[in-house]
Amino acid sequence: MKLRVNGVCFSYESVMALDDVSFEVNRGEVLGIIGPNGSGKTTLLRCINRALDPERGTILIDAKDILKLDRKEIAKEIGVVPQNSTIHFPFTVLDIVLMGRTPHLGRLNGESTKDLRIARNAMKITNTLHLAERSIDEISGGEKQRIIIARALTQEPRILLLDEPTLHLDINHQLEILELVNDLANKKGIIVVLVSHDLNLAGRYCNRLVLLNKGSIFSMGRPEEVLTRKNISDVYNIEVEISYNKSIKTNTFIPIAVSKNRSSK
């Protein structure tokens, strides 16, 4: 199982958002997409999910070009956790999660016992089963994020795309969500592509990173190869202090100052 992004380009009218982006992600791997605002991170996820069609390049799931798949087939392969999930009606949590079964249902078919079992299993994995009968309006932000992940898992995807899944969450829920994502990759073999603004969390939980800058790949590799002082200074225009944390066995980053060469960029 492999996701391949080959030479993808996309622009909004005359503004180039992605320029010749290429990478591969293997089964059970967590790939982090990082970069400053406007670097193309969310646009890239939307191209992978075919919410946007690339102007050039291909996106392959194994040997299948997603441009040749219909929306239902893509939804069976790819689950999406967007930045913001707006739900306008007070559905129960179980109802929300069951919506993930839609790609597997016929036009006139309701959910079966099998669909209910799959949904409940996804809720068990995400530790939300106890919330099943609660209204979506009555739960916390961290709980809601786990429910949206449960809905995506109920699709039974082989690929999970997450756009800033820890946005607006407090610290304990941030760690909780990313530990869950890590387990899904390690134990379920799901390919995870994760957009994050938090360099510390991305460096800790991702196997590899793609650093985007102005729509192009600036650096790609293991976290310690990508998150260097020079790369961070060149792309984010800040100076950082980098130290190795023995407790979590990874580098941590503390912003120190705006780069002195910012005005020349």
DSSP 233-262: HHHH-EEEEEEEETTTTEEEEEEEEE-TTG
3-state secondary structure of 139: coil
**Domain span holding position 262:** 228-265
pLDDT for residue 167 = 86
SS3 content of the chain, % helix, strand, coil (to 5): 40, 30, 30
Number of domains in the chain: 2
Q: Which amino acid is at 204?
A: R
Q: Using an 8 Å Cβ cutoff, are 161 and 48 in contact? A: yes
Question: What does pTM read for this prediction?
Answer: 0.92
Residues 90 and 74 in one domain: yes
For the chain, which residues score pLDDT lower than 70? 108, 261-265
Domain identity same for 35 and 152:
yes
Same domain? For 106 and 237 the reply is no
What does the DSSP 8-state code read for residue 55?
S
Pair 154, 107 in one domain: yes
Q: Are residues 86 and 104 in the same domain?
A: yes
Based on the domain organization, do 186 and 72 belong to the same domain? yes
What's the distance, Cα to Cα, between the start and end of the chain in Å? 40
236 & 223 share domain: no
Same domain? For 141 and 255 the reply is no
Burial of 45 (0-12, 13-18, 19+ CB in 10 A): buried
Tell me what pLDDT residue 108 has: 65
CB 68 within 8 A of CB 61: no
- Per-residue pLDDT, 263: 43
18 shares its domain with 45: yes
Q: Which helix (H) or strand (E) element contains residue 181?
A: helix 171-188
CB 23 within 8 A of CB 206: no
- If one counts every other C-beta atom within 10 angstroms of the C-beta of residue 98, the result is 24
Shared-domain flag, residues 202 and 116: yes
In contact, 34 and 162? CB cutoff 8 Å: no
Question: Are 216 and 250 part of one and the same domain?
Answer: no
Do 143 and 254 share a structural domain? Answer: no
CATH number at residue 125: 3.40.50.300
Cα distances from 132 to residues 122, 147, 210, 259, in angstroms, run 11, 10, 37, 49
